[in-house]
């Protein structure tokens, strides 16, 4: 087992499983099938693969029609083009009639790297989360991605799946269990909780180990299901730790940090520090350098934990 895998890579493999299992699964792409990793499905099941060309509005609109006629379409392109260019097709042709379309978006966040800010979706979770009927999932590693894709195909209705370009550490094995609407407590601690998703989950686990050495007991919660949000687990953990850090590769406005803040403000007011992009676009660069520059690192999480512990003390 390789120790790293991009979530998009796992997506491509999961599609092959689905292709064999379910003849109703169809895949659409918009001239990015090599990058989104839908190309393998296209090779294996050419009659069920539709390249729509560089036309994202039509990509999502056609997926809606396929779903209306009983298919389970996975429509793929980069997150910025799916949510950005085709927002209103997603909203009116897919979510409004609650059609069974899976929007499987890759290349989210700043870890797109060298292509730069124009290609780095940092607001997609916020936008998708605000749309009624939409499920929003952000897997952390390859295994979780596999389970997210299979669960999405079983669930009836629109799902937005946010995946990345970068190879990220493999965290889970087959014993791990993802469920739509459920958060996973990966580590129980009593002093503070880090609630993260996507690439920030592995950093949260590393930060928790480092903090343990300082005597700080950290809960780590993987919130892959941003919507529906597992409010009960979040509230339960926050009740114990009385301090929460959220972490996401997304703008701190509107994403996971916002979703958790909303729940805690209403049900369990708790000191909170949000780690994410501070309302700024990304830029070109090596992914690791960008993560460093924009404060999406283990060190940033440790700093945030100290900040929130100081708040808790007051």
Partner 1 sequence: MTTIELKRVANVIRQDIISMLVTAKSGHPGGSLSAADIVATLFFNEMRINPKDPKWADRDRFVLSKGHAAPVLYSALAEKGYFSKEELKGLRQTGHMLQGHPDMKKTPGVDMSTGSLGQGLSAANGMALAGKLDGKDYRVYALLGDGEMAEGQVWEAAMASAHYKLDNVTAIIDYNGLQIDGKTDSVMCSAPLLEKWQAFCWHVIEVDGHDIDALLAAFAEAKTVKGKPTMIIAKTVKGKGVSFMEDQAGWHGNAPSVEQGEQALKELREEAANLG
Q: Does 120 bind partner 1 (CB under 8 A)?
A: no
Q: Does 88 bind partner 1 (CB under 8 A)?
A: yes
Q: Does 69 bind partner 1 (CB under 8 A)?
A: yes
Binding residue for partner 1 (CB under 8 A) from 10, 18, 27, 63? Answer: 63
Closest distance between partner 1 and the C-beta of residue 39, in Å?
A: 18
Binding residue for partner 1 (CB under 8 A) from 93, 106, 108, 297? Answer: 93
Q: Which of 9, 47, 56, 307 is catalytic?
A: 56
Return the number of the residue (60 or 226) whose C-beta is nearest partner 1: 60
Pairing of strands 244-251, 192-196: parallel
Terminal alpha carbon distance of the chain: 46
Q: Does 132 bind partner 1 (CB under 8 A)?
A: no
179 belongs to the catalytic site:
no
| Cα separation, 247 vs 148, whole angstroms | 20
Binding residue for partner 1 (CB under 8 A) from 17, 35, 71, 242? Answer: 71
Pairing of strands 25-29, 72-78: parallel
- Interface with partner 1 in residues 11-30 (CB under 8 A): 26
| Cα separation, 293 vs 60, whole angstroms | 34
Q: Which stretch binds partner 1 (CB under 8 A): 60-68, 256-264, 267-275, 301-309?
A: 60-68
Return the number of the residue (2 or 69) whose C-beta is nearest partner 1: 69
Put the strands of the sheet holding 159-162 in their side by side order.
Answer: 49-51, 25-29, 72-78, 102-106, 159-162, 135-137, 225-227
- 294 by DSSP, 3-state: which? coil
Binding residue for partner 1 (CB under 8 A) from 62, 108, 147, 251? Answer: 62
Q: Does 194 bind partner 1 (CB under 8 A)?
A: no
Closest distance between partner 1 and the C-beta of residue 93, in Å?
A: 5
Give buried/exposed letters for 193-205 (b at 16+ CB in 10 A, else e). bbbbbbbbbbbbb
Return the number of the residue (127 or 305) whose C-beta is nearest partner 1: 127
Binding residue for partner 1 (CB under 8 A) from 1, 3, 46, 47? Answer: 47
To the nearest 10°, report the CA torsion of 26, 225, 79, 195. -150
| Cα separation, 47 vs 45, whole angstroms | 6
Binding residue for partner 1 (CB under 8 A) from 13, 17, 31, 57? Answer: 57
| Cα separation, 89 vs 51, whole angstroms | 18
| 8 A C-beta contact, residue 117 and residue 78 | no
Return the number of the residue (49 or 172) whose C-beta is nearest partner 1: 49
Closest distance between partner 1 and the C-beta of residue 57, in Å?
A: 4
Q: Does 70 bind partner 1 (CB under 8 A)?
A: yes
Tokens encoding 81: 């083009």
| Cα separation, 35 vs 12, whole angstroms | 10
Q: Please work out the total of residues on this chain that contact partner 1, with binding judged by CB under 8 A.
A: 29
| Cα separation, 274 vs 231, whole angstroms | 17
Q: Does 52 bind partner 1 (CB under 8 A)?
A: yes
Binding site for partner 1 (CB under 8 A): 26, 47-48, 50, 52-53, 55, 57-58, 60-71, 73, 88-89, 92-93, 96-98
Catalytic (active-site) positions? 56
């Amino acid at each position: 087992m390789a120790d790293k895998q991009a979530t998009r890579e796992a997506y491509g493999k999961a599609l092959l499983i689905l292709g064999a299992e379910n003849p109703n699964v169809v895949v659409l792409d918009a001239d990015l099938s090599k990058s989104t990793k839908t190309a393998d499905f296209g090779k294996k099941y050419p009659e069920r693969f539709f390249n729509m060309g560089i036309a994202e509005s039509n990509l999502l609109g056609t997926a809606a029609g396929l779903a209306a006629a009983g298919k389970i379409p996975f429509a793929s392109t980069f997150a910025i083009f799916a949510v950005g260019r085709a927002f209103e097709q997603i909203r009116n042709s897919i979510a409004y009639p609650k059609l069974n379309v899976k929007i499987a978006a890759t290349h989210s966040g700043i870890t797109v790297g060298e292509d730069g800010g124009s290609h780095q979706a940092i607001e997609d979770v916020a936008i998708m989360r605000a749309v009624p009927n939409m499920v929003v999932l952000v897997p952390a590693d390859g295994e979780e991605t596999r389970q997210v894709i299979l669960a999405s195909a079983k669930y009836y209705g629109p799902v937005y799946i946010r995946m990345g370009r970068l190879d990220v550490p493999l965290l889970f094995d087959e014993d791990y269990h993802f469920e739509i609407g459920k958060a996973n407590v990966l580590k129980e601690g009593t002093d503070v909780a880090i609630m993260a998703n996507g690439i920030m989950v592995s950093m949260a686990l590393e930060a928790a180990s480092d903090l343990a050495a300082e005597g700080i007991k950290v809960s780590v919660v993987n919130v892959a299901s941003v919507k529906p949000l597992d409010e009960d687990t979040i509230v339960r953990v926050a009740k114990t730790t009385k301090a929460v850090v959220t972490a996401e590769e997304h703008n701190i406005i509107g994403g996971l940090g916002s979703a958790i803040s909303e729940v805690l403000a209403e049900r369990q007011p708790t000191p909170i520090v949000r780690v994410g992009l501070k309302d700024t676009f990304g830029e070109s660069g090596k992914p690791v350098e960008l993560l460093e520059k924009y404060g999406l690192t283990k060190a940033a999480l440790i700093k945030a934990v100290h900040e929130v512990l100081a708040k808790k003390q007051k």
